[in-house]
Structures are given as C-alpha cells and as structure tokens.
Chains A and B, each alone.
Chain A
Amino acid sequence: MNYLTGKPGWLLLFVLGLAFPFLAKNDYHLTVMSTAYIFALATVGLNLITGYTGQFNLAHAGFMAVGAYTVGILTVDYQVSFWIAFALSGVVAALLGFFIGLVSLRLKGHYFSIFTLCVGYIMFLVIEKWESLTHGTVGIIGIPAPTAIGPISFDSPRSLYYLVFFFLVLGVWVMHRIVNSLLGRTFVAIRNSDDLAESMGIPLMRNKLLAFMLSVFYAGMAGGLYAGFVRFLGPGLAGVEHTFDMTMYMLVGGLGTLLGPLLGALSVPWLTQYLQFLQEYRFIVFGPILVLLVIFVPHGIVGTYMGWRARRAANAVATTAAGQPAAAAKEQTHA
C-alpha cells in the first residue's frame, strides 16, 4: 500500500485544505493560497495534455485568459450574472480549443509546442489590441465578486478560499476519474507511442483533440475563477510566462502524475513568497533551480518517490525470489 500517493495521502491533503483558513495567520496568506489553488487547477489541466498525452501546449495561459476575459467582459460590459459567465468560461475556452486543436494537433513534438507558442502570442496580442472588446492595456476593472448562492455569500476572503478550494477538489477528482479510465489510458498510450497507439486502433486525432479540449476547459475554468477572485484583468495573464510558471509547477511535482502538478503548484508559490526579498530577481535563483531539477530530478518529486517505491518493491520481490523460488513466482505475477 502506497500511503503517500494513495487514499490516506489525498485525505490528509483534503483535511489540510479544509483546516488551512483556521491555521492561516492573516488574510494575506489566504489570498496567496487561493491564487495558488487557481493556478493549480490550470496546471492540473495542462498536465492532462502535456503529462498524460505528451503534447506540450504553450498556449495554456492564453486559454486561461480567454476564460477570465469571458467572465470579465460578460459581467462588466453585459451585466450577466457571475455564475452564468463562470459556467461559460470553460465552455468558451474549450470551444476555442476545438478549433485551435484541430489545426495544431496535426503537428507533432516540437512543432506543436512552437505552434501553440505562436497561438499564445496571437491571443496575447489580440487581447492587448482589441480595445473595444477587451479594454486593451487598461484591463477590465471592477469585476463583481461571485454572487451569493442562497445563504452562502462570497464577500470574505475565507468564503472565497472555500469556493476556490471546492472547485480545485472537484477538478482534481474529475481528473482522477479521467486518468484512471480507459480514456486516460488511451491518452497515455498516445504519449508513449502514437504509432503504436494508432496501430492498436486508437483514433489519434479524436483522442488528442478531446484531451486538448478537456485540458483547456480546466484552463478556462481557472481563468473564470481568477476573474471572480482577483476582480481585475490585464492582458498580461495571457503571457507565455504564466505557461512557463505552470510548466515549472508540473515539472517540480512530477509530470504525468496526478499529485505532482498539485504539489508543485502549491509549494512553488510559497517558496516564492519566502524569496520575496529577491523580488523580480528571484528568477536568477529559479532559472538555475529549474535547470538542475530537469537534469537531476527529471521525474519531479512525486515521480521520483514513486520510482523509488517501485524499485524497493522490485528488490523485495527479488530477495524473496532468492530464498523461496516458488513464492517468488507467485509474487512476480502480481508485480
């Protein structure tokens, strides 16, 4: 039984998340954590297309901005209620993802990444230049906070924290269902070898497109939450730096694991908080850390931990095999 990556570990995280507002010293910490949750949700989505399906999408922050601007424009300029706009944020991102995916997913490997990098730039530039729709560089100011549902209102940092936490838990749970289903295995098959997957009868394009749309749906939802939480939007949200940030979270935690991106997205922002005195120079420290991680811990924290577990289990099997050949044969069928 794998305690840290199995059910007890998840339960512990959930309880910690529930208890956090009572442990936090001030509202500022709550805000930092809530923002981290929003980016964690987007990172969990990015992990589906990059970690599980093997296509490195560099336009992810662009899709997040699309979701955020959906909420911003609808609520501020068209007085639509927050929840309707929020429900649309993921849908709009996924719809856009359908068309972009249709074109971009025909490309493989680096070509896909570079293509999406360009798509991300187009999104950023369109948001910045299309002033009549997006308010240009001024940004959208005064986005209303999420309206109350029945007796629950979202005007305090603590209630907002729980709102964001709820969607993160929901998002991770749905992602857990996806990656452990046949669909998730299909995605992994495509990542491991798309030729092999295709020869086994997996329709490549349809599955890649589905993974892409699901992934950007998460980005859109995260963007919608961001709009309702921060209540101010600028074109900078679409910048490729945010995609780089999310990639870093994913890599620190462990690519292609469920827990990894979550851990990365929650721990790195806190590290940044403690490196605050470095301010904009923090990348002088972070850049080399990223390089060292890629070289020495290529599978991230969770990936390395799971690899270590697997090796230990294999060794245990091997030692029993030396002593009791019959029992070992039985063990190995399980392993």
Chain B
Amino acid sequence: MDLFLQQILNGLTLGGIYSLVALGLTLVYGILHVPNFAHGAFYMAGAFVSFHLMKVWGLNYWVAMVGSALCVAMIATLAERLVFHPLRKASGLHPMIAAIGILLFLEAGAQAIWGADFHRMQTPYTGIINLAGVTAPVQRLLIIGAAFTMMVVLHLFLTKTVTGSTIIAMAQNRDGASLVGIDANRVAMLTFAISGALAAIAATLYAPINLVYPAMGHLVITKAFVIIILGGMGSVPGAIVGGLIIGFAESFGAFYISTDYKDIIAFALLVFILSIRPQGLFSKGAH
C-alpha cells in the first residue's frame, strides 16, 4: 500500500510538470495552430537561466525562478515577433521547420554558454517528510503544490480577466476576435510570453530532482506533444488531464513494468489510443 501511495506521489509530481509544459504548448497551438517544437528549448533555457542566476549571481531559488520566467518569456515573445509573426500566413510545414530552427539555435546557444556537461541544480528544500508511511521529499511536494497553484492561477486568469478572455476568444475564432476589436498581435505575444514563463517555471521546479543539460528538453517536449494530442490540441483542461494521465502511466509503469522502458510508455499509450480513436481521447471532431 505504501509503495502504491509512493507511486501516486511520483505520478502527481511528473503529471504536474508535464501539465505545465503542455499548457504552454496547447495555448500557443490554440492561437497560432503551430506545433511549437521550440517549446522544449524554452524549457531547457528556463532551467539554465535559473541555474545561472542561482550559481553565479547567488540568488534565492524563488527569485531565480521569477527571473528565469521573465527571461524565457522575453525569448518566447521575441521568437513570436521575429519568426512566427512573419510566417503567420505560411503553410503548415514552414512554421514547424522554423520552430526547429529556433530549437537548434537555443540548444547550440546553451551549449556554447554553459557547455554540454550535466549540471546539478541546488535546492534549498532537501528535507524529507514522512506522511503516513510515505516518504516524500519536500521538493516533490513543492512541485505538486506549485504546479497545481499555477494551473489554478492560469485558469482564473483565462476565465476571469478581460486579457485572459481575449486569449480564449482568439483561440475560438480568429476573425471573430478581430471583429470585436481584439489586437491579434498583442494576444499572440502575450500567449507566447505566458507559454515561455510556464515552461521556465516547470523546468526550475523539476530541475533539482533531475539534471540540467542542453538536450534536457527533448523528451519532455515530446511527451508534452503526446499530452496535447490526448487532451485535444488547444484545450486547457485537456492538457492538465492528459499531463496527469501520462504522469501516472509513467510512474506506475516504471514501478510495475520496467524502469528501462518507462519513457516508451507515454508513446506506446499514444500509439495505442490513436489506433483506436484517431481523434484523440477528449476531442469530438476528427483531425
């Protein structure tokens, strides 16, 4: 039973991180209809900026997280302005390849600045809490708490504020949103900024129990793609539910099946689900 609860805790941790990354991806997809392959690079950049701020500037963990969120939000907005905006009328393949260009650039950039080595990020929260027989590292609890707080904040922002509603309106109908006077450029930039910030926060939360290296975004971003396909592209609740499904599938799979193959589980699940339901789990229309 304890081991079972342990897996639930792991699943929530992974699921929280995946959901945050997938949320950024799904927001951008909702607005631009571009699968942003560079999102994994934003995630990686977030981890490195936090790492740098903490190690070189000696900043506090939370300050570093905010700093890195701002920094990555800026990179993402720049990417929107310089790359995706000029391509907004191009066919589906071109923005996708441009995103790959950004990905290659950011990864090589990180490697040039910080080297190809693996780095370990320090966290002030190294303790372990014992909850009814389940040992829970504080960092993991922190991840769960912070990730779900972020989701609630994002949800409130999207539904309760006018600025947030413009994002939803834009995702629902671009022309309609323009007709009622919503500035498409502003919304696109804002969405990219939010998506970048979410990626940076997720990376800073997760990095202390993982490692920081230039290719760290690859697997996470691929899984985030799995999640938004499962949850329906552009759907916010779908990204959260999908993230939790993948998180749990992985933590239980690693425990009951094999740690070696745990990374395959997410992809195998996707292949299996799409073989039966090509339209994804939650979306109604066909793709």
Contact = CB atoms under 8 A, between A and B. Distances in A.
Given A280-B116, A281-B111, A115 B270 contact: yes
Given A103-B275, A247-B97, A295-B87, A287 B112 contact: no
B138 to A, nearest CB: 31
Contacts of A114: 35, 225-226, 229
Interface in A257-310: 280-284, 286-291, 294-295, 298
B254 interface: no
Contacts of A251: 97
B267 A118 contact: yes
Interface stretch (A18-26, A86-94, A120-128, A321-329): A120-128
A216 interface: no
A50 B94 CA distance: 12
Given A114-B229, A287-B101, A290-B101, A122 B264 contact: yes
Contacts of A111: 229, 233, 287
Secondary structure type dominating chain B contacts: helix
B209 interface: no
Contact of B100 (A107, A121, A125, A244): A244
A5 interface: no
B261 A286 contact: no
B92 interface: yes
Given A281-B111, A294-B101, A122 B268 contact: yes
Given A114-B35, A294-B98, A103 B271 contact: yes
Interface string A105-122: 011111101110111011
Given A107-B278, A121-B222, A291 B96 contact: no
B108 A283 contact: yes
Contacts, number: 121
Contacts of A282: 108
B83 interface: yes
A284 B108 contact: yes
A121 B267 contact: yes
A46 B108 CA distance: 25
B202 interface: no
A177 interface: no
Contact of B229 (A115, A244, A288): A115
Contacts of A126: 264
Contact of B96 (A110, A119, A280): A110
Interface in B75-109: 82-83, 86-87, 90, 92-98, 100-109
A103 B273 CA distance: 10
A212 to B, nearest CB: 16
Contact of B105 (A50, A108, A122, A288): A288
A295 B83 contact: yes
Nearest to A118: B267
A312 interface: no
Interface residues on B, range: 35 or more
A56 B226 CA distance: 17
A129 interface: yes
B264 A294 contact: no
B216 to A, nearest CB: 15
Contact of B109 (A110, A118, A284, A294): A284
B274 interface: yes
A255 interface: yes
Given A107-B274, A113-B35, A287 B105 contact: yes
A117 B266 CA distance: 13
Contact of B107 (A119, A121, A283, A290): A283
B97 A287 contact: no
B101 A110 contact: no
Interface in B97-133: 97-98, 100-109, 111-112, 116
Given A281-B112, A287-B102, A295-B87, A118 B92 contact: no
B108 A110 contact: no
B2 interface: no
A288 B263 CA distance: 31
Contacts of A119: 267, 271
Nearest to B276: A103
B263 A108 contact: no
Given A103-B271, A247-B100, A287-B101, A117 B225 contact: yes
Interface in A206-243: 240
Nearest to B29: A110
Given A114-B35, A289-B101, A291-B98, 9 more contacts: A56-B96, A107-B287, A115-B274, A121-B267, A282-B108, A286-B101, A294-B87, A294-B90, A294-B94
When A and B form their complex, which 8 residue pairs have the shortest distance between CB atoms, in order from nearest? A287-B105, A290-B101, A283-B108, A287-B104, A291-B101, A283-B104, A118-B267, A106-B278
7 contacts: A110-B96, A121-B219, A125-B264, A244-B100, A287-B101, A295-B83, A295-B87
Interface of B: 33, 35, 82-83, 86-87, 90, 92-98, 100-109, 111-112, 116, 218-219, 222, 225-226, 229, 233, 260-261, 263-264, 267-268, 270-271, 274-275, 278, 287
